[in-house]
Every structure is written in structure tokens, then in C-alpha cells.
Structure 1
Amino acid sequence: MANQSLLRIAKEIKGIQSSNDLSIIVAHQDEDIRNVKALILGTPGSPYEYGFFEFAIQFGHEYPSKPPKVEAKTTNHGRTRFNPNIYAGGKVCLSILGTWHGELPGEDWSSAQGLESVLWSVQSLMSNDPYANEPGFEGRTTDDDKKKNDAYCAKIRHETIRIAVLQKLEAMYGIQADGSIQKAPDTEKWQSDSDDASESEEESREKLRWEPFNDWQKRRFIWYYEAYLKTIETHAPKHKEAEKFETMPFEGGSNSMDGTFQYGQLGKRLLRVKEVVNQETEDWAKEGMLAKQRDSSKAYSMQSQFNVVKHTQKNGGIMNIDLELEDGNPFVWIMTYFGKPESNLDGGVFKIKISTSVKFPEEQPRVKVVTPIYHHKVSKDGVLCYNANKPEEMKNHIQMIVFALEEESPPYDPRTIVNPEAAKMFFGSAEDKKKYNRSQRRAAQDSLETGC
């Protein structure tokens, strides 16, 4: 029975990992498959939008007869309750987990359910109506209840950016309260949920632990930077600086979300994190050149991948691209993309910079379209949102970059939108789509006039 339980857990983990889900990621340490970490991306359009919410899942020896234990880790050191059902102490109340009694058939745990259904259930709590998750408040639609829900969403939205985004990135990079960088002695160390990046050295040492999701969060921070910025710009005028959060009827003691609105500070911190991420990307090029000069195996491997892709491209591969290395650096690829014939980008010539870390594939490439382009998957500052099916193969990255630029009828998925203005046009009315097409054709024409 024990072996069957382990095999099932392994199968479920592999299933999620191979699905390339953009909003859920799981990992486990090799020596203990029963202890799993999961990261859930906050639901787009909700007050949790694009936040990074971490959970620890522990499978008992009676799994799947009994559900796993789930503990919330993104809690600001046990000080912040992100949902009526996600406590500051880490407890997650769900009937599927046996931590709450369901009232309807099928709400309780059954062995037919698994890790994925657990994570989906947790993610479903992060909705536009979190106030209704509290027993006794569901279904209430009075004006007072609506105001309470709006007030609750307002502080969740603020704390999502502060705690579930900024604190995590600041801790990864060692960004201090004054914006300076303090590198940890152990470069593999990451202190999760730091208190505004101001923990003592002793507390930091206690945080030495396995953290598998750093690069996943960094890439998504780059993707969703403009969304975070838009949230701040939209909601900052609605709240005075240092205005206190409203306390909900079900909050109290240490199980609450207390604090004040500090959107002005969040905006400055957001910009600082972006600067540090961009600097890291530039440092990758320097590290890559040093690796080449030392004739390291990683430099040789990346050069070999470039040679394979270049050979494939020349012999019937993707025809409308050209590839070169920047200054001979095997970790910085320059792709020239020639707009697909008979598409809006037909005739355009676009320069795309692909920066790769010496830790590839653990750290995935960062792609920037250097030549201005109008595209719902390319941010205003050129960041391209794409997902590789085979993240360890640079050939697949090139293919998926081209696919992202050329996909004509993608399904609407807000997780892949990094240019909200362009997306509104692309997925809007027929007239909006015409404006989108004209903007793309204009970008193709301008690329010839300005040069790539």
C-alpha cells in the first residue's frame, strides 16, 4: 500500500509539472516525495491578481484514502489572513481537505480526487467575492455587504502586491528597505515572506531552505509588471496614504489583515525590483562571457545548442528568422524575425534579444523584442510572454517565440496578456480588431524605417 501511495503521488506531481500550467507549479525534494511545495498564481481579475501564493502539502501514509494536509505559507510571518478560509496561521479551510464540513454531496474528500483538485479548490478561494467565503456571509447581497466586500478586496489587492509579490522578490535579491542590495553569504538562500526585506541576520539564517520557484516568480514578475503598475495607478487615488484598512466582521486577534494603504511606497518598490531584475539579466551576459573564456562545459553546451538550431534553421527549419550570437557570447542570442507573409507583420524586421543564464535550464531565458511592436503578448517595453513545451531545449524556445508572435486565433487567457491595451483591441469588437491590425501593420512598416 505504501508503494502504491508513493507511485500515485509521483504520478500526480508529474502530471501537473508536464501540463505547463501557467498558474500552478509544484515541486518536491528527491528524498521526500510526500512533502510538496506548490505555488498558485493569484486569479486574474481578482484582488489576488498575479500574486505568488505558496502552500506546503504533506501527504500522509493513508493517502489517497485521506486527504493531504495543506498549509498556507504566504502569510507575512503569520500576521496576515488572506481569505476567510486561509488563516494567518496557515490553516486552509476546505471541505475537500476535511478542515471544514461540506453541506452538499461530493464536497468532502474522496480517493478519486488528488493533488490537482486540491490546488484548484484552493485557487477557487481567490475570487472577486472573498467576503462570501466566510460562513454566514455567503449569498448576502445587501448594500452594506457589497461595501464590506469592496473594502475587503481593496486591502487584499494592496497586500497581494506588498506581501505576495514585492516581499518575495525583494527577499530573493536581498533588496533592503532603502533600496540597497545586501547579498546573502549563501547565494542559494532565499528567505520566503520576509517582512518588507528588513529581517535580522539571525532570522535570515533560519530561513535557509529549499526554494524551487524563484525563477518561475521572476519570469512572471517581468510578464505582469505593467499589470502591477496599473493596479497601483488605478487604486492609489481611492485611498489616502496611511489610511487604515477596514476590519471585517470575521476578523479578530491575530487572525486578520491589518495595516494601512501605502501605494506610494509600493510604486517605488515595484520600480526598484524591476531595475534589479533588468540588471540581473545584463549580468547574465557577463557571466556567460566568463564561462566561455574559461571553456566551461555550460558554455560548450549552449554553443552546441546554438549550432544545432542554426543548422536546422538553414536546412528547412523556421524560414523567417536569422540567428546570431551577440559578441560571440553563447548565452546571448540575437534573433531577427521577418514578419510572416500575408500577416499583419508581413515585411517587418524585428530584432529579438534572448538572454540566457549559465544556470539554464533551471533559469529560463528572458526574451525582449527590441524593435517596437504592437502585440498582446509583448509588453510596452518589449517583454515577450511565451511558454516552452521543452524548457531544456533552446530549439523549442525559438519555436515557441515564433509561435507566440504568429498565433492568429489564440484562446483568451489573461495569464498570457502582458500588454492590456493591445489585448483589449485584439479580443474586442470587430472595430477594435481592425485597429489592432492597423497598429501591427504600422509597427511592421516602422521597423523598416527605423531599422531593427
Structure 2
Amino acid sequence: MNQSIIRLTRELSEIKKSNDLSIAVACKDSDVRNVKAIILGPPDTPYEFGFFEFSLKFGRDYPAKAPAVNSLTTNSGRCRFNPNIYAAGKVCFYQIRTWRGDRGEEWSSAQGLESILISIQSLMSSNPYENEPGFENANQDHDKENMKAYCLKIRHETLRVSVISRLEEHLGINPDGTIQSVPSPMEQDAYDEDSSIVDPEAPAVFEPFKDLCKRRFLWYYDSYVASIATEREKVTENQVFARMPFEHSGNAMEGKFLYSELERRLRFIKERLEKETKDWADEGLILKGKESGVAANLQRQFEQTVEHFKKETSVTLDVELVNGNPFLWRVTYFGRPMTNLDGGLFTFELAFSPRFPEEQPRAKFLTHLYHHRITTDGIPCYSPRRYDDGRHHIDAIIHLMEEENPPYDPRTQVNQEASKLYWGSKEDKKEYNKKLRRSVQRSMEC
């Protein structure tokens, strides 16, 4: 096997095993040299929690030579998201020799896929205006105004293009709020069995991050709403974007601030995701009746999970199927004694997709729990050790509930109010614990 393929296969595996919340990679098994990657916009930048997709093409001479890198999040070539990420898709930075760097900054075979993605992510800074050569130390008054104006429009387009338009496409939603006439996944499966309906020569669409973006959208929905509320106060509706000195026709970010419209579209996406999750249960019952492999697998996993927690003495919980449906698990957790959850009774559900494990289950608390890693709507932010096993999803949720001294990670802070208190002063932390205990007491009253 070619050494470049061996190297790439190892690098892809290492990134996937790392469970990095900022970077994900994928490729077709038959085409490991063509990699797709998605980078989550860093917190506290105008790119915050946006979904930015890239393609990387590796030659046979990799790692001696850098890959070709292209941005796929460009609004069809109309949006330049950074001085170094062009509207046409070109990504420009020294490591891939698009310009000459300082000594020691050139590409070397010691670098690799992960270092490239981290370098791209570093371009998404809190002040991307300075990324343009010649503007690194811009400090005149008009430069400062441009810096602010540039960040304002990047934030708007991050929400509009990288989040809202992407999710609308994944959910079959038109920008005006109408639903595209497309078959449901169950109907599509039926169509695929009929060669007279589906062209067998047509290439399959490769969308490896579709499910990831849907799940992350639910994590960060409150943050998106809060960002719109904050940003709309800084501009006027229909205000035209300011053009930067380094932008020109065909390679710019042009448009208007339309936050009222973005808010409407954002809320509709949330509604459609909730409907999709509920539809999984109905589709699952159909598959159960057909004795499908997915239904049998989930039934077996459920039975093994029940047996596991019967023997597990460190945690007390019940797991049951809702209406006997193996695609909808209900978990009741009893707070561990001598902890902040002592005496609490919390219920959450795991909704499984008919396409599990390609699509991951969606968890939601039915009992309110005030927690910095659980949204106000009850969506927990967690990462299981194994994505293909329902028990590991339960383990990960219980772990986040009980963890006493978690490391700070802004990507997991999905309840803004609770996060500010939890990571604030001693008095803030006391207030956080009061609110947590209050939610525990209310859980016993329900």
C-alpha cells in the first residue's frame, strides 16, 4: 500500500478517536485521498459555533507535499469569510505554500491533516481583519471602525450561511419557510429498491456531517438566539454591509443585516428538528413490525443495557421502552446520595433514528435540571465513548450530571446563564448550586 495512504488512514483514525468537538473528518472508504472536514467556529469570535466545511485533496507525494485545500462554505461562491478564505474557495496560508512564511513556517512532512485544520481554525480569530497582509498592526481610527464592521457582517453571515442555510438544506426547508417536496427517509429507502425510480448510475451524495450539524444545532440553539438578540442591537435592519479595503467584486462579503428574518428561520429549523425526532419513533414502529435489523439490534441493546444497570451498584436508574418501541428509550435516574443530586428523580429520553448508528440518538430531559451542560430546553451536551451503543450514551449523560470538577470547555457550555454562574465567583457558584438544588427539589414534586 502507498505510504501516503497508510499515513492518511492513521491520521483520520486518530482525529476520529479524539472526539474533538471542534473538528470532524470523513472520506469515502474507496477514496481516502479526498477528505472532507468540518470546523466549528471558535467561541468568542464572530465565527462562534458556525459550521465551516472544507475539502482536502492529498497527492501520492503526501506528506512530502501539502494537500490542496478548498473551502466549501462560501454561499455558492458569493461569500468571502476571511481575508485568507476566499469566496471562490481558496484557502491561503503559509503552511500549504500559498505564500512564503518565515523561516521554519514552511510545510514539512512532520505536519499533517490535523495541523492543517488547526491552522485554518486559527484564521477564525476574534479580529480576522488583521489576517490581511499589511493590516496586521492596523490601528488608525478608520481601521478600528473597519474591524468592528467586518466582525459584524461575519457574525451575520456565519449565522445565515454556515448555520441556517446549511440546516435548511439538510431538512429540506426553503428560505421562505416552505417545505421542499422530497420523500421521507423511509420512502426513499423504498424508492431505492426500485431501479425504475432511481438511476443506478447516479452518484450518491456524500454528506458525512449532516447528522453532526443537526445535533450541534440543538446544543447551540440558545446561543444562536442570544447572539441574534445581541447583534441586532448593533445595526439597523436592512443596513448594507460595509466593504473592506481588501475586498473587491467577486471576492467579498456583500449583503444586508436581516436579523428578524434570521430569527424566524432559526426557530423554524428547531421546530422541524423536533418533528423529525418524533417521526423517528413512528418510523421505528414500522421497522419493528418488519423485524428489521436495526430494530432487532436496538431491542438487543436495550435488553443488555437493562441487565447491565441491574448489576451496576454505583448508580440507580430504570430503563424502559416507551410503548414497547425499541427506538424510544426512557431513562429514570435517581440522584446519588451525598451529592447535589441527592433525592432527585430525573427522566430523559433517547430517540433513536431508523438509520442508527449512522445517525446518532437525540437525548432530551423531560424533567428540568439546571445544569451548565444542559440547555434550557433539556438537550444535554455529551460525547459517548461509543456512538453505536445506547448504553454508552446513557453512561455519558449520567457522567455529565454527576461530574464535580469538570475542565472548562466553552464548547460544552450550552446553558449560558448556568455557565456564567458555575464558572464565576464563589458567590456565583453558590447561586448556581442553589438553583441546581431547587431543580432537584422540584423533580421530587412532579
TM-score (norm 1): 0.93
Amino acid corresponding to residue 72 of structure 1 in structure 2: S
| Conserved? CA contact 1:173–1:183, under 8 Å | no
Displacement of 1:178: 2.7
Q: Distance in 2 between matches of 1:266 and 1:332?
A: 32
Counterpart residue number, 2:328: 332
Amino acid corresponding to residue 446 of structure 1 in structure 2: R
Counterpart residue number, 1:224: 220
Q: How does 1:141-156 map to 2 (within 5 A)?
A: 141-156=139-154
Counterpart residue number, 1:413: 409
Counterpart residue number, 2:199: none
**Counterparts in 2 of 1:330 and 1:187: CA distance versus 1, 3 Å:** closer
Q: How does 1:181-200 map to 2 (within 5 A)?
A: 181-184=179-182
Q: How does 1:298-447 map to 2 (within 5 A)?
A: 298-316=294-312, 319-447=315-443
Counterpart residue number, 2:81: 82
Counterpart residue number, 2:112: 114
Q: Distance in 2 between matches of 1:391 and 1:122?
A: 27
- Equivalenced residue count is 432
| Conserved? CA contact 1:247–1:257, under 8 Å | yes
Amino acid corresponding to residue 82 of structure 2 in structure 1: N
Amino acid corresponding to residue 334 of structure 1 in structure 2: R
**Which has the higher mean CA deviation after the structures are superposed, 409-418 or 154-163?**
409-418
Displacement of 1:186: 8.8
Counterpart residue number, 1:35: 34
CA RMSD of aligned residues (A): 1.6
Deviation by residue 1:354-413 (Cα, 9 ceiling, x = unmatched): 111111111111111111110001111111110111111111111111001111111111
Q: Distance in 1 between matches of 2:9 and 2:279?
A: 36
Amino acid corresponding to residue 16 of structure 1 in structure 2: I
Displacement of 1:187: 5.2
Q: Distance in 2 between matches of 1:411 and 1:165?
A: 27
| Conserved? CA contact 1:78–1:88, under 8 Å | yes
**What SS is found at the alignment partner of 1:230?**
helix
Displacement of 1:317: 5.4
Deviation by residue 1:292-318 (Cα, 9 ceiling, x = unmatched): 122222111101000001001111255
Counterpart residue number, 1:199: none
Residue segments in structure 1 that go unaligned for 5+ positions in a row: 189-205
| Conserved? CA contact 2:165–2:175, under 8 Å | no
TM-score (norm 2): 0.94
Q: Distance in 1 between matches of 2:29 and 2:313?
A: 38
Displacement of 1:341: 1.6
Displacement of 1:208: 6.3
> What fraction of aligned residue pairs are identical, expressed as a percent?
51
Counterpart residue number, 2:126: 128
**What SS is found at the alignment partner of 1:158?**
helix
Amino acid corresponding to residue 108 of structure 2 in structure 1: S
| Conserved? CA contact 2:168–2:175, under 8 Å | no
**Which has the higher mean CA deviation after the structures are superposed, 265-274 or 138-147?**
138-147
Q: Distance in 1 between matches of 2:335 and 2:71?
A: 46
Matched, 1:214 2:205: no
**What SS is found at the alignment partner of 2:265?**
helix
Q: Distance in 2 between matches of 1:284 and 1:239?
A: 41
**Counterparts in 2 of 1:261 and 1:207: CA distance versus 1, 3 Å:** farther
Amino acid corresponding to residue 413 of structure 1 in structure 2: D
**Counterparts in 2 of 1:183 and 1:213: CA distance versus 1, 3 Å:** farther
**Which has the higher mean CA deviation after the structures are superposed, 267-276 or 142-151?**
142-151
